[in-house]
C-alpha cells in the first residue's frame, strides 16, 4: 500500500496526514482522526449517513477515495459546525422537531442540508425534499416530515426571522396549557444534543475505542438462499495471517439453536428452528456458517472468504406462494412451511352482494416483504469486567423481548426478570445493554478460545469458586464457559443456556482481551 503525506483543512484547521490513496475519506476521518460523526452504514453511497462537505459540496465519504480528494481540500464534518452552547441553526431545529430519533442518519442529513442552505437560505419544502432525494439521504425513523420541518425552521433562524427559543421546548417556563407542553409537544429528546453534534457513539464507533489487542470477528455467510451443507473446510482459513480461531457449529456446546421471539402453542414447530451456526442446511441468504477471530478486521474478512463450504443448492422459495406449493421442500425439516394458521371467522356469503353491485372490479394484488430499513451496522462488543460482570454492548429494538430470548426457560415460567444482585452478593452478573440479569452456577472452564493466549489452546486457569450468601457456588470471572456463536454469545450453565442477541455478530473478551466486529451491510 502506497503512502503519502498530505495537507488538508479539516474543520477549519490545517492537518498533515499520512494516507493511502486507496482508502476512503470515511476511513481517514473515523480511523485516523476519530471524527466518528461521519457514520458509515451501507459502505456503498446509498444511504447518505456518511455525508460530509468537501470543498463546499456534499459528498459520500464512504465511497470517496483519497486519491480523489485534492491537496489542501477543505473538509467539514458534523463536529466542525457546532458544539453544545454554540449550535448551528440546523442542529437546533433538528432537536426542536425530533429529527434525531435513532440518530444514525442525523449527521449526514445535517451536513447535506447545510450545503443546501449555504446556497439557498429560503428553499421551498419541495426543494428540500428534492435535495435529500438527489443526495440520497435516507432515514429509517422519522418519515421525513420532521426533517423537512427542521430545515424550514433552520432557514428561518439563518434569516433572523425567529429565535432558537421560539422553537425549543422550555420545561421550566412553559405553561401547562401551552401547545408546546411535554405531552404531545416538542420536548427535546434527552439524547438529541449528542446526536446532532455527532458525539453519540453507536456500535461501530465504540469498536474504534476498544483497547489494543482487541480481536475482530468476521462471518462466513451463505451466498445462496437454500441449500444442504455437505461439508465445511476451515483449514485454509486457519492458516491465514492473524487468525486466532475459526469457529463452526462444532464449537457450540449444547443446543446449537436460538428460539424465536414469538412462539404460540398453535405453532407447528417448537420455535428452535434457527441454528446459531449452520450445520446441515442453509435456510436463507446470509446465514452464518463460520466465524473468524483475528487480530484485525482486514485479516478476519480475508480469512472468512477462505472458508470452503460444499453445498447442494436447493430451490429458493422467494415468496410465500412458492413455499406453499404442493411440491415445495420443507425449509426446516420436520416443520411445515405453513407453520402457523390463523383462525378466521367468516360472515355471510358475499356472492349475492356482489351480484347486486352496480360495478365490480376484480384484481390480484401482491404485497412485498417489508423489512425495516435499518441503517446502523450490526455490531456488538463484549468484555468481562474486574468484578466478573460480563458486559455485552448491543443494539436492541426491544430489551423486554430480547430478555425472553436471553432467558427462554426462565421466561417460560415467569415474565418477571430475575432480581439484580445486591452490593454484598457475589453472584455472577450479566449486563446486556441497560439490562441486568443474574444467576448462580457452578465452576467450570472457558473453552480455549476464550483465553487471552493467542498461541496455545490451553484453557484459562480456574480460580476456586466463591460462595454466595446462601452458600451456592458461583462462577468466577475466569470460570464461566462463555462461547462465541454466529450472531450470538452464549453463556451456558448446567441449568440453562443464555443466548445474547448481537444480530448475527458476536464478540467476547476475558479480562485482558476484547473482541468486536462491525460488519458491512448484507442483503
**Same-domain check for residues 282 and 238:** yes
Of 263, 288, 313, the last residue of a domain is: 313
**Same-domain check for residues 287 and 166:** no
**Same-domain check for residues 166 and 234:** no
Residue 522 lies in a domain: no
Rounded to an integer, what distance in angstroms lies between the CA atom of residue 339 and that of residue 267? Answer: 6
pLDDT value, residue 406 = 61
pLDDT value, residue 343 = 78
**Same-domain check for residues 408 and 276:** no
**Same-domain check for residues 161 and 234:** no
**Same-domain check for residues 226 and 188:** no
Residue 341 lies in a domain: no
Residue linked to cell 432558537: 164
**Same-domain check for residues 141 and 252:** no
Rounded to an integer, what distance in angstroms lies between the CA atom of residue 395 and that of residue 380? Answer: 8
CA dist list (Å): 180 to 166, 173, 184: 10, 11, 8
Of 297, 313, 329, the last residue of a domain is: 313
pLDDT digits (tens, 9 = 90+) for 117-171: 999 999 999 999 999 999 999 998 898 999 999 999 999 999 999 999 899 877 7
Residue 340 lies in a domain: no
Q: Read off the DSSP letter of residue 202.
A: -
The secondary structure of 256-289 as a DSSP string is --B--S---TT-SS-S--B-SS-SSEE-STT-EE
Residue 337 lies in a domain: no
pLDDT bin (cut points 50, 70, 90) of residue 304 is very high
Domain count, the chain: 3
pLDDT digits (tens, 9 = 90+) for 262-296: 667 778 888 888 898 999 999 999 999 999 999 99
Which has more pLDDT, 342 or 20? 20
What is the residue-averaged pLDDT of the chain?
78
**Same-domain check for residues 51 and 171:** yes
pLDDT value, residue 36 = 97
Residue 446 lies in a domain: yes
**Same-domain check for residues 285 and 184:** no
pLDDT value, residue 179 = 64
Residue 326 lies in a domain: no
CA dist list (Å): 503 to 148, 246, 279, 305: 32, 19, 19, 20
Residue 521 above 50 pLDDT? no
User: Which range has the worst mean pLDDT, 60-69, 299-308, 483-492?
Assistant: 483-492
Three-state SS for 407? Answer: coil
Using a pLDDT cut of 90, give the percent of the chain over it.
Answer: 52
β partners of residue 428: 439
**Main-chain dihedrals φ then ψ at residue 24, nearest 5 degrees:** -95, 165
Of 202, 223, 254, the last residue of a domain is: 202
Which has more pLDDT, 506 or 119? 119
CATH number at residue 254: 3.90.1170.50
Highest mean pLDDT among 169-178, 212-221, 439-448: 212-221
pLDDT value, residue 229 = 98
pLDDT bin (cut points 50, 70, 90) of residue 88 is very high
C-alpha cell belonging to residue 196: 446532532
pLDDT digits (tens, 9 = 90+) for 37-84: 999 999 999 999 999 999 999 999 999 999 999 999 999 999 999 999
pLDDT bin (cut points 50, 70, 90) of residue 299 is very high
CATH number at residue 52: 1.10.150.120
**Residue among 335, 309, 333, 331 at smallest CA distance from 318:** 331
**Same-domain check for residues 9 and 128:** yes
pLDDT digits (tens, 9 = 90+) for 382-439: 888 888 887 778 777 777 777 666 666 544 444 444 444 343 333 334 444 332 222 2
Residue 271 lies in a domain: yes
Those residues whose C-beta lies under 8 Å from the C-beta of residue 88, and which sit 6 or more positions away, are 81, 82, 110, 114, 154
Rounded to an integer, what distance in angstroms lies between the CA atom of residue 75 and that of residue 9? Answer: 6
**Same-domain check for residues 43 and 178:** yes
pLDDT bin (cut points 50, 70, 90) of residue 454 is very low
Residue 306 lies in a domain: yes
**Same-domain check for residues 134 and 60:** yes
**Structural domain range at position 271:** 215-313
Using a pLDDT cut of 70, give the percent of the chain over it.
Answer: 73
Amino acid at each position: 500500500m502506497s503512502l503519502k503525506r498530505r495537507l488538508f483543512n479539516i474543520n477549519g484547521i490545517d492537518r498533515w496526514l499520512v494516507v493511502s490513496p486507496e482508502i476512503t475519506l470515511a476511513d481517514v476521518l473515523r480511523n485516523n482522526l476519530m471524527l466518528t460523526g461521519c457514520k458509515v452504514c451501507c459502505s456503498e453511497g446509498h444511504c447518505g449517513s456518511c455525508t460530509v462537505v468537501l470543498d463546499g459540496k456534499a459528498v459520500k465519504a464512504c465511497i470517496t477515495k483519497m486519491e480523489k480528494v485534492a491537496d489542501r481540500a477543505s473538509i467539514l464534518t458534523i463536529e466542525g459546525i457546532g458544539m453544545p452552547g454554540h449550535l448551528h441553526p440546523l442542529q437546533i431545529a433538528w432537536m426542536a422537531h425530533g429529527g434525531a430519533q435513532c440518530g444514525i442518519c442525523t449527521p449526514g442529513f445535517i451536513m447535506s442540508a447545510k450545503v443546501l442552505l449555504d446556497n439557498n437560505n429560503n428553499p421551498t419544502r419541495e426543494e428540500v425534499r428534492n435535495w435529500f432525494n438527489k443526495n440520497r439521504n435516507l432515514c429509517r425513523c422519522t418519515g421525513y416530515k420532521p426533517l423537512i420541518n427542521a430545515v424550514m425552521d433552520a432557514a428561518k433562524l439563518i434569516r433572523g426571522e425567529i429565535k432558537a427559543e421560539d422553537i425549543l421546548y422550555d420545561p421550566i417556563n412553559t405553561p401547562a396549557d401551552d401547545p408546546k407542553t411535554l405531552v404531545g409537544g416538542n420536548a427535546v429528546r434527552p439524547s438529541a444534543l449528542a446526536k446532532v453534534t455527532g458525539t453519540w457513539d453507536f456500535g461501530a464507533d465504540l469498536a474504534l475505542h476498544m483497547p489494543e489487542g482487541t480481536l475482530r470477528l468476521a462471518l462466513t455467510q451463505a451466498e445462496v438462499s437454500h441449500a444442504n451443507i455437505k461439508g465445511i473446510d476451515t483449514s485454509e482459513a486457519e492458516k491465514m495471517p492473524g487468525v486466532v480461531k475459526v469457529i463452526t457449529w462444532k464449537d457450540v456446546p449444547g443446543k446449537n439453536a436460538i428460539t424465536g421471539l414469538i412462539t404460540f402453542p398453535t405453532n407447528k414447530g417448537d420455535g428452535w428452528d434457527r441454528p446459531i451456526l449452520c450445520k446441515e442446511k442453509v435456510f436463507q441468504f446470509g446465514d452464518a456458517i463460520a466465524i473468524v477471530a483475528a487480530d484485525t478486521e482486514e485479516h478476519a474478512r480475508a480469512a472468512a472468504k477462505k472458508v470452503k463450504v460444499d453445498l447442494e443448492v436447493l430451490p429458493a422459495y422467494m415468496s410465500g406462494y412458492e413455499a406453499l406449493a404442493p411440491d415445495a421442500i420443507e425449509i426446516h425439516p420436520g416443520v411445515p412451511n405453513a407453520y402457523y394458521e390463523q383462525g378466521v371467522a367468516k360472515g355471510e356469503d358475499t356472492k349475492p352482494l356482489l351480484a347486486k353491485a352496480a360495478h365490480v372490479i376484480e384484481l390480484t394484488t401482491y404485497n412485498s416483504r417489508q423489512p425495516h430499513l435499518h441503517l446502523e451496522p450490526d455490531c456488538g462488543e463484549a468484555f468481562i469486567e474486574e468484578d466478573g460482570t460480563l458486559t455485552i454492548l448491543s443494539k436492541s429494538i426491544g430489551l423486554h423481548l430480547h430478555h425472553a430470548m436471553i432467558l427462554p426457560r426462565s421466561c417460560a415460567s415467569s415474565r418477571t426478570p430475575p432480581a439484580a444482585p445486591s452490593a454484598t452478593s457475589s453472584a455472577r452478573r450479566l449486563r446486556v445493554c441497560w439490562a441486568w440479569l443474574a444467576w448462580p452456577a457452578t465452576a467450570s472452564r472457558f473453552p480455549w478460545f476464550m483465553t487471552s493466549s493467542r498461541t496455545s489452546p490451553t484453557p484459562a486457569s480456574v480460580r476456586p469458586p466463591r460462595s454466595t450468601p446462601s452458600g451456592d457456588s458461583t462462577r468466577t470471572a475466569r470460570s464461566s464457559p462463555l462461547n462465541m456463536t454466529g450472531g450470538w454469545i452464549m453463556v451456558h450453565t448446567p441449568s440453562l443456556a443464555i443466548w445474547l442477541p448481537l444480530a448475527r455478530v458476536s464478540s467476547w473478551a476475558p479480562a485482558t482481551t476484547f473482541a468486536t466486529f462491525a460488519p458491512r451491510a448484507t442483503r
